Chain A
Amino acid sequence: MAPLTIRQATKSFGALKVLHGVDVNIEDGEFVVLVGPSGCGKSTLLRLIAGLEDMTSGDILIDGRVVTGLHPKDRDIAMVFQSYALYPHMTVAENMGFSLRMQNVPPEERARKVNAAAEILDLTPLLERYPKQLSGGQRQRVAMGRAIVRDPKVFLFDEPLSNLDAKLRVQMRAEIRQLHKQLKTTIVYVTHDQIEAMTMADKIVVMRGGHIEQIGTPLDLYDRPANTFVAGFIGSPSMNILPGEIDPGGLSFSSAKGTRIVLTQPLEYGVGQRVFLGLRPEDFELSQDGFEAVVRLVEPTGAELHVTLAAGDEILTAVFHGRPDIEEGATIRVAVATRKLHLFDRETTLRLGARPAAHGEPDGSERQS
C-alpha cells in the first residue's frame, strides 16, 4: 500500500510520441482505472510504472521513492498480465511462490504464504496442478495469487479480464473488487471497457491519444464529463451528442440538421452560443411538454426498453425503464430535464458553464489538457 505519483510521463517509440507529459496522483490504497480506446497509451503508462518500458522523460514515485530507471524487480510491484503469463512448467504452487523463491525465502515460509493466498482465492485444491490443466478463470486467479504473495506496494492489472467470457468477467470483477477491500493495496488497472471502469474504480483516468482527458470518480465522470469525448465514452448506451445552437431566449436548441428541441426550463447559460448538446439515453422521459420524435426501432432487454428515435434528421437513442407502451413507427413526445442536459463548447468541446451541481455537491472533477 503506497501512494503512486506519475510526473510528466513522456514516452516515444522512435519518432512516435505515445505519451505526452502525463501527470497522475494516486492515493495510498486507491483503486485507479486507466481507461480509453485502443492506442490511447494506457497500457504504455502501466508498463512504465512497472518498469517494463523506459521513460523518455518524467518520473515515477512509489511511496515517495523515485523508481524511474529501476529494474522491475526493485520497484516492489506486482503485475497481472492479460495473458496471465503463468510459467507453464511449474505447478500453481510453484508459480505463486516463485517471487519468494527468488528472494531466498525458506520453503516453509514460502508454503505458508502461498497457502494463505490460495485460501483467499479459492485455489487450495489446485495447488499441484499445472497451468494447462486449468480453466481461464482459474488461471486468472493464479495470476492474481502470484501477485498477492509478493505483498507489493502497488498492484498492476493489464486488461486481465478481456480473455474471459462475459459471465465470468462479471464474476471476476466482483472478486477483484472484493480482494481490494480485503487487501487495501494501491491498484492501477487498465481496461478498454468503461463498464469495468465504472463498477470497479475509486478513481478513473480517461485517456486518449497519449493525453489525459479527465480524472475523477466514476460518478464525477458520469455527471460532469469535462468534454465531449469523456461524455461519449462513459455510459452505455453512449450519450447522444448533437451539434447546434441554443436559440436566443434559452428555450430551445436548434441542431445543425435543423431539428428543434424544446427545453423544459429556460437555460441560464450558453444562450445564443454554438454548442454540442448532450442527452443521456437514460435521461429521456415521455412528456407532453417535450419535442416530437418518430420511433424507428424498439429493443426490449427485459428490464429496459432501448428505443431509437428520429427527431427530424437527428437519430437519438433513448432508454426507458419498465415497459412503456411504445411501438415502432409511432410518434411520441419526449423530453430531457434541463438540469440533466450537458452543454459543450462547439470549438473546444469543453464542458460549458456552471451547471448547478446536484444536491449541493462540490464540483470536484479535474480536467487536464
Chain B
Amino acid sequence: MVRWQRSLWLFFLPSFGLLALVLLWPLAYAVYLSFFDYYLGAPERTFVGLGNYAGLLGEARLWNSIGTTLIIALGSVGLEFLVGMGLALALYRLGTGARVFSTLLFLPHVVTPVVATLFLKWMLAANWGLVDATLLTFDIEPPDWLGSPFWAKVSVILADAWIFTPLVMMVLYAALQGLDTAQIEAAKIDGASDWRIFRHIIVPALIPAIIFTISVRLMDVFRFFDVIYVLTGGGPGTATETITMYTYQLGFRMLEVGKASALGVITLIVVAALLFTINRTLTRIYRRGDQ
C-alpha cells in the first residue's frame, strides 16, 4: 500500500480490536466451555472432552430441534419469498402510490420483534384472541394456535413471515427498480406474455438479490429467538423448540453451560456449512443461467 497512507491500518484498531476482544474471545471461551460438564453455580467443572458433543448428537431432543428448525426455516423463508416477490412485483407495477404502500407494509419489520410477536399473540390467543373471537362468532371451531404441536409450528412460521416478509419485499422491490426497462419493452413488442417476461427477464436479473435474501433469511432463522420465546416459549412441549431455543433452555434454564456451549458450536458449524452450500449452489445456478 502507498506509503503515505500506511497509518490507515491504525484506523482498524478500535473496531477490529474490539471485535477480537468482545467476539473472538467469548467464542474461544465458549468452545473451551463446551469441553466441560459445567453446571453454572457449582464449585467445580469436569473436563469431558467431546462428551457433550457425543451426548448431544445421541439425543432425540437435539435431532427433534434440528427437524423443527428446518421445518420452520423452509416454511417461513418459502412463504416470505413468495409473498415478498408478489408484493414487490405489485409495488413495481403500481408505480405511483408505491411509496405509501411500501412504508405501511414495512411497518411490521421495524417494530421491536418482541412487541410485534405480542401483537400476534393477542391475535392468536385461545378463545379471546381476535382470530378466535371472530371465528367463534361465526360458530367456527378455531384450531389451538399456540397449544397444538402442529398449529404452533404454523403460528411461528406465520409470525416470522409477518415480521420479515417486508424485508424481502423491499430488497426485491429495490432490485426491480434497477431493472433495465428497455429489455422488457423490447420483449413486449415481440409479443411475450407477462409470465414469460417474468420468468426469462426479470428472474435472472434479480438473482443476486434473491441469493442475498434467501441466504440472509436462512441464516437468520438459526439465530431466531425473540419470536419463538415470546410466542410459544418452544412449546407446547418441544413442538416449536428450534436449536436456538434448546440451547437457551440448556444454558439459561438448566444452567448446563458446558452442554449449551457445545450445542452452540454445533449450530455454528451447521450455519457455516449451510452458508457455504447455499452460496455455492445458487452461484452455480446463476452461472448456468448466464450460459
Contacts and interface: CB of A to CB of B under 8 A. Distances in A.
Interface of A: 51-54, 69, 71-72
Contacts, number: 10
B3 interface: yes
Nearest to A50: B4
A69 B4 CA distance: 9
Nearest to A73: B4
B219 to A, nearest CB: 35
B2 interface: yes
Interface of B: 2-4
Contacts of B3: 54, 69, 71
Contacts of A51: 4
A133 to B, nearest CB: 31
A53 B3 CA distance: 8
B68 to A, nearest CB: 51
A23 to B, nearest CB: 23
Contacts of B4: 51-52, 71-72
The 9 closest A-B CB pairs, nearest first, are A71-B4, A54-B3, A54-B2, A72-B4, A53-B2, A51-B4, A69-B3, A52-B2, A52-B4
A1 B2 CA distance: 27
A51 B3 CA distance: 9
A345 to B, nearest CB: 42
A9 to B, nearest CB: 16
Given A51-B4, A52-B2, A52-B4, 7 more contacts: A53-B2, A54-B2, A54-B3, A69-B3, A71-B3, A71-B4, A72-B4
A195 B4 CA distance: 35
B67 to A, nearest CB: 51
A100 B182 CA distance: 53
A262 to B, nearest CB: 58
Nearest to B1: A54
A58 to B, nearest CB: 15
Contacts of A52: 2, 4
A11 to B, nearest CB: 12
B266 to A, nearest CB: 42
Contacts of A72: 4
B35 to A, nearest CB: 45
A51 B6 CA distance: 13
Contacts of A71: 3-4
A247 to B, nearest CB: 57
10 contacts: A51-B4, A52-B2, A52-B4, A53-B2, A54-B2, A54-B3, A69-B3, A71-B3, A71-B4, A72-B4
Nearest to A51: B4
A69 B6 CA distance: 12
A229 to B, nearest CB: 31
B7 to A, nearest CB: 10
Contacts of A54: 2-3
B132 to A, nearest CB: 59
A71 B7 CA distance: 12
A54 B4 CA distance: 9
Contacts of A53: 2
B213 to A, nearest CB: 35
A52 B2 CA distance: 7
A51 B2 CA distance: 9
A110 B225 CA distance: 60
A54 B3 CA distance: 7
A54 B5 CA distance: 11
A291 to B, nearest CB: 53
A52 to B, nearest CB: 7
A71 B3 CA distance: 8
A252 B4 CA distance: 60
A72 B3 CA distance: 10
A226 to B, nearest CB: 34
A98 B235 CA distance: 66
A72 B2 CA distance: 11
A51 B4 CA distance: 8
Contacts of B2: 52-54
B62 to A, nearest CB: 50
A53 B2 CA distance: 6
Nearest to A72: B4
A69 B3 CA distance: 8
Nearest to A74: B4
B220 to A, nearest CB: 39
A52 B5 CA distance: 9
A49 to B, nearest CB: 14
Nearest to A47: B2
A361 B204 CA distance: 70
A193 to B, nearest CB: 28
A52 B3 CA distance: 8
A174 to B, nearest CB: 35
A122 B2 CA distance: 37
Contacts of A69: 3
A173 B3 CA distance: 34
A79 to B, nearest CB: 13
B154 to A, nearest CB: 55
Nearest to B4: A71
A146 B3 CA distance: 24
A78 to B, nearest CB: 16
